[in-house]
Chains A and B, each alone.
Chain A
Amino acid sequence: MSDSLQAAVDQAQEQLDAHTIEIVRWHFGDDTGCPFWLEKKRELNFDPLTEVKCFADLDKFPDFEDEWLRGGPVRRWVPQGLAHEPVYVFETGGTTGVPKSRIAMEDFRTDYSNFSDTLPDEYFPPGSNWLMLGPSGPRRLRLAVEHLAQHRGGICFCIDLDPRWVIKLIKKGWMDHLEEYKKHCIDQAVTILTAGHDVKCMFGTPKLIEQLCLELENRGTSLAECGITGIFSGGTEFTPQWTKFCVQELFGGPPEVSGIYMTPTYGNTLMGLACSEPVTKENKYKITYHAPQPRAVLQVVDFDDTDKVVGYGETGRSKLTTLTKEFFVPGFLERDEGEREPPCEQYPWDGISGVRPFSKLAGGTTVGVY
């Protein structure tokens, strides 16, 4: 590691430690914390206000259980220090049973404003309009992408897409219905793209981007001909092979040839967006994500000892920590695995590559239309 990178890494670590102390004090402060964490504090065998002095001290917390997010009252998650703010609730899952929910005020805007800074203006021209080709309903993503478009001076067009119905179709084995629903979603996107709205940028999941490109090809046109120049995409099925296929065949080449730039992201309702290092043919379309530190931290941990970070290049489970004033999630074990990657100049902290469904849980993961 070069001296300058080492210095940047050290600085990022200091910043993370300081941020951790600040956020923990906020969430466990009697006047600022949320009912959930204040109650939890009584169960802990340490005092988070005095005994969390750096990021590593978060290991003192038990692993965060996402089951805690199921059911109400949802207000127990609202920090008293922000009680006067308008509150959003975003949900994940929910095909059957009670979905997990997360409250938010400004986080999704902050996360996506920060993410906006990583987008190249050449391909994401300020002022251009967007297409949100992803799930609608009680999803963070739908509002976040709309904010991103607005933040960049554009207007966002959306489609109707109910992912819970999609999962039900798959579970029922109604594959014809699934195909029709996919077409229904893509039809909406094609209608927007061909209606003269000057849409140049879009969000799409790999599956939907693929279907959109194939449908445009059927109609004798392409994303480029429709005016799309910048795509931000996300999802665990975002593999190097899919990216290769997409760039080489669906787009017609790398950005300098096809005029389309795509950036992969990794994230979920609990965290912001982890950005990717540039993905190119030269690096075999390898996708390496870095979390938006210090607001969120991604670690790659040992499958059995989840407090232990694996060595660089080694495989482990993805562990997420969210550190914002709105939401505190220490050590949440994701349903994904990947390889630990070293810091780089752009992101002087650890990353994760090769993200894929956690192999021991893979059978239980259903990836639907989006």
Chain B
Amino acid sequence: MIELQAIRWGEPYESLDIDEVKHFYTGEPVARVHTVGSGIVQRDAKKAKFARRALQAISPADLIAMCKKAGELFESGTLQVGDSKQTPEDFIQQQSATTGMPIAMCQANVTKNAFVLKNIDTILDALTRGLDLNILARGYGEEERGVTVSYQAQCDALGAVLPSNSPGVHTLWIPVIALQMGLVLKPGSSEPWTPYRVYSAMVEAGIPRETFCLYPGAGADIGGAILSSCRRSMIFGGPQTVQQYSGNPKVQVHGPGFSKILLGDDCVDDWEQYVDMMADSVYRNGGRSCLNTSSIYASRHTKEIAEALAAKLGPIEVLPPDDPNAGLAAFTIEGAAKAIWGAIENDAKASLVTDMTSQYGERLVERDPVAYIRPVVLHHASIESDSRNKEYMFPMVNVVECPQDKMIDAIDYSLICTGVTNDEELRRDLIACTEIDRLNLGPIPTPQVDWLQPHEGNLIEFLYKNRALQIG
């Protein structure tokens, strides 16, 4: 069993409160994590400026080189993590063991996180839209056109309250170190693995250890302390969390994505061409991500689309986590899967809704003490159906029949929207729609991220203020 002490600006801290992180199925302890209370977080926050100073002492170019090396180490190195040596295989096994995610999915997320580190220069180039990082480092500089520009850092360290359910989201905070800001992280209760391994890889690669805090502990207590004591933080949570922090300039909140695919009238008759793209958008990463499609809108053929998706997704079985074909993750919170399935069954009873996957066997698979839900496709005959935009943490999609001219109003918030259309008017409407965050024009799966575009919640806009600076 691995022992993970809290990290306070690079110093391991032995707590008297120790939580065991357990195997999702057997209940065997996999890690002992030292948890801390909010007072420690608040007290340490006063030293955040030292983290920034330590990073400012290193040039952006050197930091980028270190991050790239950290990416290699994260992906392939044997690292000292807590009191143990951890190989990449150990990491994946441990992550799968405590989260219930299939090994293959854990492996995919390793690749994704490592990619960001190994390509940090191009990713920062995308995030900054080509800005010379030395301008960010110095606080100001001159653009090619001879104008002085200034970007003021809004914090010394970014706080992040991390989830347990999707290791892919770590790509969002990983670039921060290269921007010369420290990291104050609260690992997810069953997924401490990624933040600890990233920390180890970065330190091994030469990043000063005093730029990191890792605080395992009670969600609300530590999370609240991070959000109140860091001038900029990100948090992951459900709709309630999103609502709570919505409009708070200090907090970037990541919640359900309600991502969608819209088939325009000009393309919908060719719907069969897009079935694989749609199924991939629903199923990739176990359907757990905010990037996964939760609703598909079209004006006609919706029943056939739903049937085709059900035929592809419905037969997918629950497989052991170490099976390379396993694509469904367990719900590890007692009663969660049953409650979600109950809610879906209830929605499916509505007159406008049809469960298209019912013919493919039982959806709720209980394997005490955990449970799974096999993919679900619901058909909604009209936008009058209240449940048409619901999202759950497994492959579940609503196929909604909706006239094209009503789609923009009906979709509500969408983190990602893929518009399959060449209709210029619909494209214009999609571009103008403020409910859509990232827009894909053309048949691009919603989970597909173009790292050369500023992605979900642009970090630079969040961490820096573009302001005037005059030199006399």
Cα distance A250–B228 when bound, in Å?
Answer: 19
A173-B240, A285-B16 known; A242 and B37 CB under 8 Å? yes
Q: Is A82 an interface residue (CB 8 A)?
A: no
CB of B44, distance to nearest CB on chain A (Å): 10
What residues of B have a CB within 8 angstroms of the CB of A173 in the complex? 240, 243-244
Q: How far is the CA of A193 from the CA of B247 in the complex (A)?
A: 37
Q: How far in angstroms is the closest Cβ of chain B from A231?
A: 15
A128 to B40, CA, bound (A): 31
A176, A218, A242: the one within 8 Å of B39 (CB): A242
Q: Inside 8 A of B387's CB, which chain A residues have their CB?
A: none
Across the interface, name the chain B residue whose C-beta is closest to A243.
B16
Tell whether, in the assembled complex, residue A250 and residue B16 are in contact, meaning their CB atoms are under 8 Å apart: no
Q: Which residues of A contact B17 (CB under 8 A)?
A: 239-241
Residue A214 CB within 8 A of the other chain: yes
Q: Is B42 an interface residue (CB 8 A)?
A: yes
Interface residues of A in 281-338 (CB under 8 A from B): 284-285
Determine if A249 and B15 form an interchain contact, defined as CB atoms under 8 angstroms apart: no
Q: Is the CB of B43 within 8 A of A175?
A: no
Nearest A-chain residue to B40, judged by Cβ: A245
* Inter-subunit contact B42/A214 (CB<8 Å): yes
Interface mask (A233-244 → B, CB under 8 Å = 1, otherwise 0): 000000111101
Bound state CA distance, A196 and B30, in angstroms? 54
Quick check: A241 and B244 within 8 Å, CB to CB? no
**Which residues does chain A contribute within 8 Å of B248, judged by CB atoms?**
176
Among A165-215, those with CB < 8 Å from B are 173, 175-176, 179, 210, 214
Q: Is B408 an interface residue (CB 8 A)?
A: no
Q: Is the CB of B224 within 8 A of A245?
A: no
B37 and chain A: residue at smallest CB distance: A242
Q: Which of A218-275 contact B (CB under 8 A)?
A: 218, 239-242, 244-246, 249-250
Q: How far is the CB of A112 from chain B (nearest CB, A)?
A: 27
Q: Which residues of B contact A345 (CB under 8 A)?
A: none
A251 to chain B, nearest CB (A): 12
Cβ of A106 within 8 Å of any chain B Cβ, yes or no, is no
A31 to B133, CA, bound (A): 86
- A250 partner residues in chain B, CB cutoff 8 A: 39, 43
Contact B15 A241, beta carbon cutoff 8 Å:
yes
Whether A241 contacts B46 in the complex (CB less than 8 A), given A175-B224, A175-B228, A179-B228, comes out as no
Across-interface contacts of A285 in B (CB, < 8 A) = 16
A51 at interface, CB cutoff 8 A: no
Best-surrounded residue of A210, A241, A246, A250 (most CB of chain B within 10 A): A241
Determine if A217 is an interface residue (Cβ-Cβ < 8 Å).
yes
Cross-chain contact A210 with B16 (CB below 8 angstroms): no
- Given A214-B43, A217-B43, A217-B46, A241–B36 Cβ distance below 8 Å? yes
- With a cutoff of 8 Å between Cβ atoms, the chain A residues found around residue B228 in the complex are 175, 179
Minimum Cβ distance to chain A for residue B84 (Å): 23
Q: Give the CA-CA distance A173 to B15 in the complex, in Å.
A: 29
Q: A175 CA to B42 CA in the complex, in Å?
A: 15
Scan residues 120-159 of chain A and give those whose CB is less than 8 A from a CB of chain B: none
Closest to B38 in A: A210
Do residues B39 and A240 form an inter-chain contact, with CB atoms below 8 A?
A: no
Name the residue of chain A whose CB is nearest to the CB of B227.
A175
Q: How far is the CA of A176 from the CA of B248 in the complex (A)?
A: 10
Which residues, 360 to 394 on B, are CB-close (under 8 Å) to A? none
**Distance A240 CA – B16 CA, assembled complex (angstroms):** 7
Which residues from chain A contact B42 at a C-beta distance below 8 Å? 210, 214
Complex alpha-carbon distance, A218 and B43, angstroms: 9
User: Nearest CB to that of B39 among chain A residues?
Assistant: A210
In chain B, positions 40-78 with a C-beta closer than 8 Å to chain A are 40, 42-43, 46
- Distance A284 CA – B37 CA, assembled complex (angstroms): 17
**CB–CB B16/A284 < 8 A:** yes
Using known A-B contacts A175-B228, A214-B43, determine if residue A241 contacts B240 with beta carbons closer than 8 Å.
Answer: no
**Which of A217, A244, A245, A246 is most buried by chain B, counting CB atoms within 10 A of its CB?**
A245
Enumerate chain A residues within 8 angstroms of B244, measured Cβ to Cβ: 173, 175
Q: Determine how close the nearest CB of chain A comes to the CB of B423; give it in whole angstroms.
A: 42
Asked whether B240 lies within 8 Å of A214 as measured between CB atoms, the reply is no
Residues of A within 8 A of B224 (CB): 175
Closest chain A residue to B17 by CB distance?
A241
Establish whether residues A244 and B16, one from each chain, have CB atoms under 8 Å apart when the complex forms: yes
A173 to B246, CA, bound (A): 12
User: What CA separation (Å) do A214 and B228 show in the bound complex?
Assistant: 13
Residue of B nearest to A286 (CB): B16
Report the Cα distance A180→B84, complex, angstroms: 43
Q: Mark B8-37, 1 if CB is under 8 A from A, else 0.
A: 000000011100000000000000000111
A249 to B244, CA, bound (A): 32
Q: Closest residue to B229 on the A side, CB-wise?
A: A214
Cβ-closest chain B residue relative to A284: B16
In whole Å, how far is A353's beta carbon from the nearest beta carbon of chain B?
A: 13
A303 to B260, CA, bound (A): 49
Chain A residue contacts of B240, Cβ below 8 A: 173
Residues on B with C-beta less than 8 A from A214 are 39, 42-43
Chain B contacts for A217, CB-based, 8 A: 43, 46
Nearest-CB residue, chain B, relative to A367: B221
Please measure, in the bound complex, the distance between the C-alpha atom of A246 and the C-alpha atom of B228, giving whole angstroms: 20
What's the Cα separation between A210 and B229 when bound, in Å? 14
Interface residues of B in 230-270 (CB under 8 A from A): 240, 243-244, 248
A contact residues around B35 at 8 Å (CB): 241
Report the separation of the CA atoms of residues A249 and B42 in the bound assembly, to the nearest whole angstrom.
Answer: 12
A241 to B17, CA, bound (A): 6
| Bound CA–CA A325/B35 (angstroms) | 44
Contact A239 B43 (CB under 8 A): no
For B45, the closest partner residue in chain A by CB is A214
Distance of A246 Cα from B227 Cα, bound (Å): 22
A241 and B37 in contact, given A175-B244, A284-B16, A285-B16 (Cβ under 8 angstroms): yes
Residues on B with C-beta less than 8 A from A240 are: 16-17
The distance from the CB of A186 to the nearest CB of chain B, in whole angstroms, is 12
- The interface residues of chain A lying within 8 Å CB-to-CB of B43 are 214, 217, 249-250
In the complex, A336 Cα to B305 Cα: how many Å?
Answer: 55
Residue with the highest number of chain A CB atoms closer than 10 Å, among B36, B42, B227: B42
- Chain B, Cβ-Cβ closest to A239: B17
Q: How far is the CA of A242 from the CA of B40 in the complex (A)?
A: 9
Q: Collect the chain B residues with CB atoms within 8 Å of residue A176's CB.
A: 248
Chain B residues, CB < 8 A from A239: 16-17, 37
Residues in chain A near residue B40, CB distance under 8 A: 245, 249
Return A245 CB to nearest CB of chain B, in Å.
Answer: 6
Name which residue of chain B comes closest to A175, CB basis: B224
CB closest residue in chain B, given A172: B244
Contact pick for B16, options A179, A218, A241, A249, CB 8 Å: A241
Contact between chains at B46 and A245 (CB < 8 Å):
no
Central interface residue in B16, B36, B42, B248, by most chain A CB within 10 Å: B16
Considering the chains assembled together, what is the distance between the CA atoms of A46 and B224 in angstroms? 53
- Residue pairs across A and B with Cβ atoms less than 8 A apart, 23 shown, are A173-B243, A175-B224, A175-B228, A176-B248, A210-B37, A210-B38, A210-B39, A210-B42, A214-B42, A214-B43, A217-B46, A239-B16, A239-B17, A240-B16, A240-B17, A241-B15, A241-B16, A241-B17, A241-B37, A242-B39, A245-B39, A249-B43, A250-B43
Task: Name the 6 nearest CB pairs between A and B, nearest first.
Answer: A241-B16, A210-B39, A241-B17, A240-B16, A173-B244, A241-B15
Beyond the given A241-B36, A250-B39, please list 9 additional residue pairs across the A-B interface where CB-CB is below 8 A: A173-B240, A173-B243, A210-B37, A210-B39, A217-B46, A239-B17, A241-B15, A241-B16, A241-B37
Interface positions of B (Cβ within 8 A of A): 15-17, 35-40, 42-43, 46, 224, 227-228, 240, 243-244, 248
